[in-house]
Structure 1
């Protein structure tokens, strides 16, 4: 074998198997064995995260989630980021391959009355042999960058679905509170009319009449605020689905009950979040990418080698370009050895090491945040269920008290103060009960988000939002 062939074989072998810098290892964290769970969860069972929002039993919510997956702008941005990461990966892979460029020239000249032509053609090629795996580490980092982009999409879907469900539940809650306020105000207007009749018959005072009418007006005064909050929630829901704020107004106009989840729900074990939570997986991919970049920076401190070559030909006629007498060529390796750079290359490695440490700390923080989210959601859901039960009992009792108080007042056996107190207590307890039902559904949504429940269907991220036309050579528009 010739010396040149031996060199090529050696450098190719080295470039194919040698890398520098640390290899990526899965980060380890200490996790508790079980959740500090309340009665709202079944810790021993794995979480049921696929299509979790369907357990709320509301077909309109299911439709809105599907529409948001297709139209949400944050999701669209995340899909574009995936296309960017994939293109960057392919671009980085290209550094492992040889590059070649062709050239050609034609000149026609006149000298001393003689006209002559000259034609030239050439091919230049080069290949960096990547002796110590710097380019391979760059490809590795780019591959983890693709993983990170995909986890960002999953995170965007998780957040978006949770926001759609939360806003939908809140909107239904406002509808229920508005209906309650209107029913209560109508009942209080009836009480005011009865009080006025009793006043005219001498069975009540003018103060009783004024108080009854004032209480009805006070209840009615709260309705516009509830209407405004409802409208804002529907506007947010519309935007989450990628539409104009008023797009869902008519569709949401007909009131529906506040969705009620089936409880308790399985929460699995804390270790499940390492694979289920997209923010944790994103942090892990970023840590892996940062680790690979250390090797990329470390490789710059070692010698680098490349093979370059060129072929050139020229002739007075096009037919002469391929003739051996007009062909010249050159081929050979180039070796570059860093000797002195003022410590820049070593500092560059230390920069990447510090960045790797930061990404590892970010991973640890993501895990702790995930644990905290789940624990908080479990406690909130468990305690809200207890509160809701007490509020339901209070509302029933106040309802009975209100019925008795009104009956006795109409019969003249009770004072107006008893009716006033009963109506206020019933309205307050009933309104708080609706808010509690909204809170239970919201806490259920928060728990599923905390456990990593998102979209489990297929997402096509390959299609660009804007399809360019006339990208080839064309006359520019003036």
Structure 2
């Protein structure tokens, strides 16, 4: 009985020490040497401010405004925003790229089969040596395999870099989500403030119209000079111009919101076109501990993952200087007739290791290492820049929040005083001790102060959005698990 085709030859025993050494070296391949950078926590007073609390930040922080329309817009943005859809495709692409790198390190096995009709040229050397020129068939079926042994960690480091890049892409998608939701909230709050301002400005226009009409009547009766009437007409024109500007700004904000929701222009006119009250945040905002900022902001985690990938890229470039060992095998059946493919004597095979050692490549490996080292330096600088920028954004937003609170308190007190003055002017007009002109002026001054109060309220809402955006938006823990997946 013939021996099995898989029976190793006697010379195979000489290869065993080499194979044992190979697997031993593969076991010594360098591990992942990345250490997450330590993020210094600057001296911050966020936790000690009366209007900011260290309570856990809510994931849906915008719900503190208690505005159902804003809640609906946020949910719609998470579903239909184009930037988020693009970010999701980038995550899928980076994970597929990571899968390609993982697959390259696994044993490769393939099957081939073929048929060809052949004939030798009468002028070929083999015919001169006696081969026939008659046509013949050639049937072939077989298996081929190969496996590169990762002796120095080259493939492993490529896998680490690919996985880190996929994580960076996932964190980038979350950073995009935080930015999109913050933009939706900012545009919505600006829209509501603009609509409220337009409504108050219309009331101001009505008062200015009455004021101008009264002065014109007095001027016609010879009780007033022409200059006062001209000033009143100019003030009325300015109010009209401001109304047009506010309406144009509100229209632009509606279109900007529609774009954030992936909708065509004008699609939100019916839903948001009517004036509404200005949403206000609570007096105290839960912000969590400032020391957790580095783990809350996805852009910081993205920069860290990119640094991880760059470190692994340097390790892979270093390992590229060392030899590569590939195990390959080939087993096939070759016959002139298809029914002979199953014959024992139609078999042919080969197997064994192949060693590749780079000797000269014009400095390609050296420059590849230098490039990867520079990319690591860039990633480290970008990480430090991202962290520093995050702390600045948090500090600026917190200061804006407290400043807006103080301005609102001052304007509210002033509004009360102007309201009292308006009521006194009305009472004096009704009692006949004062003219209607003075009452109209008092009402106009009160409306001006009401606009200032609304501006302060809008500033508070905007600073709330900016603060939660700077703190990372408290993206859910499930997203972190997905990012690590």
TM-score by length of 2: 0.86
Aligned length: 459
Residue of structure 1 aligned with 2:33, choices 20, 23, 41: 23
Change in 2 beyond 3 A, CA 1:194/1:404? farther
1:123 aligned to 2:143?
A: yes
Separation in structure 1 between the aligned mates of residue 76 and residue 116 of structure 2, nearest angstrom: 63
Separation in structure 2 between the aligned mates of residue 108 and residue 369 of structure 1, nearest angstrom: 70
CA displacement, residues 279-306 of structure 1 (integer Å, 9 cap, x when unaligned)? 1000000010101111110111111101
Q: Judge which range, 395-404 or 429-438, deviates more.
A: 395-404
Separation in structure 1 between the aligned mates of residue 119 and residue 463 of structure 2, nearest angstrom: 88
Residue of structure 1 aligned with 2:13, choices 2, 5, 13: 2
Residue of structure 2 aligned with 1:154, choices 171, 174, 180: 174
Residue of structure 2 aligned with 1:354, choices 343, 357, 374: 374
Separation in structure 2 between the aligned mates of residue 403 and residue 191 of structure 1, nearest angstrom: 18
Contact 1:161 1:454 in 2 (8 A): no
Separation in structure 1 between the aligned mates of residue 180 and residue 477 of structure 2, nearest angstrom: 14
1:375 aligned to 2:395?
A: yes
Q: Judge which range, 145-154 or 423-432, deviates more.
A: 423-432
The equivalent residue for 2:59 is 50
Query: Where in structure 1 do 4 or more consecutive aligned residues deviate above 6 Å?
Result: 110-115, 409-412
Q: CA deviation at 1:332?
A: 1.0
Residue of structure 2 aligned with 1:11, choices 19, 22, 33: 22
Q: CA deviation at 1:126?
A: 1.4
Contact 1:106 1:117 in 2 (8 A): yes
Separation in structure 1 between the aligned mates of residue 112 and residue 47 of structure 2, nearest angstrom: 71
Change in 2 beyond 3 A, CA 1:308/1:109? closer
Separation in structure 2 between the aligned mates of residue 16 and residue 257 of structure 1, nearest angstrom: 68
Q: Judge which range, 46-55 or 239-248, deviates more.
A: 46-55
Larger radius of gyration: 2
Listed as ranges, the matches of 1:110-259 within 5 Å are 116-199=136-219, 203-259=223-279
Q: CA deviation at 1:81?
A: 0.7
Separation in structure 2 between the aligned mates of residue 406 and residue 214 of structure 1, nearest angstrom: 25
Point out where structure 1 has 5 or more consecutive residues left out of the alignment.
463-478
Separation in structure 2 between the aligned mates of residue 458 and residue 42 of structure 1, nearest angstrom: 26
Separation in structure 1 between the aligned mates of residue 355 and residue 164 of structure 2, nearest angstrom: 30
The equivalent residue for 1:97 is 106
CA displacement, residues 394-435 of structure 1 (integer Å, 9 cap, x when unaligned)? 223233334544665787756898667645543432222212
Q: CA deviation at 1:203?
A: 4.9
1:336 aligned to 2:347?
A: no
Separation in structure 2 between the aligned mates of residue 456 and residue 340 of structure 1, nearest angstrom: 51
Separation in structure 2 between the aligned mates of residue 200 and residue 34 of structure 1, nearest angstrom: 65
Separation in structure 1 between the aligned mates of residue 368 and residue 477 of structure 2, nearest angstrom: 42
Point out where structure 2 has 5 or more consecutive residues left out of the alignment.
1-11, 121-131
Contact 2:46 2:290 in 1 (8 A): no
Contact 2:255 2:265 in 1 (8 A): yes
Three-state SS of the structure 2 residue aligned to 1:333 is strand
CA displacement, residues 170-223 of structure 1 (integer Å, 9 cap, x when unaligned)? 000000000001111112222334444555666545544444344333212210
Change in 2 beyond 3 A, CA 1:29/1:413? same
Q: Judge which range, 132-141 or 309-318, deviates more.
A: 309-318
Contact 1:194 1:410 in 2 (8 A): no
Q: CA deviation at 1:350?
A: 2.7
Q: CA deviation at 1:357?
A: 1.8
Three-state SS of the structure 2 residue aligned to 1:50 is coil
Q: CA deviation at 1:328?
A: 1.1
CA displacement, residues 52-105 of structure 1 (integer Å, 9 cap, x when unaligned)? 000011011000000000000110011001100110111000111122333322
TM-score by length of 1: 0.88
Separation in structure 1 between the aligned mates of residue 478 and residue 211 of structure 2, nearest angstrom: 58
Contact 1:41 1:267 in 2 (8 A): no
Separation in structure 2 between the aligned mates of residue 40 and residue 261 of structure 1, nearest angstrom: 15
Q: Judge which range, 210-219 or 121-130, deviates more.
A: 210-219
Separation in structure 1 between the aligned mates of residue 329 and residue 49 of structure 2, nearest angstrom: 74
Contact 2:334 2:348 in 1 (8 A): no
Three-state SS of the structure 1 residue aligned to 2:282 is coil
Contact 2:47 2:289 in 1 (8 A): no
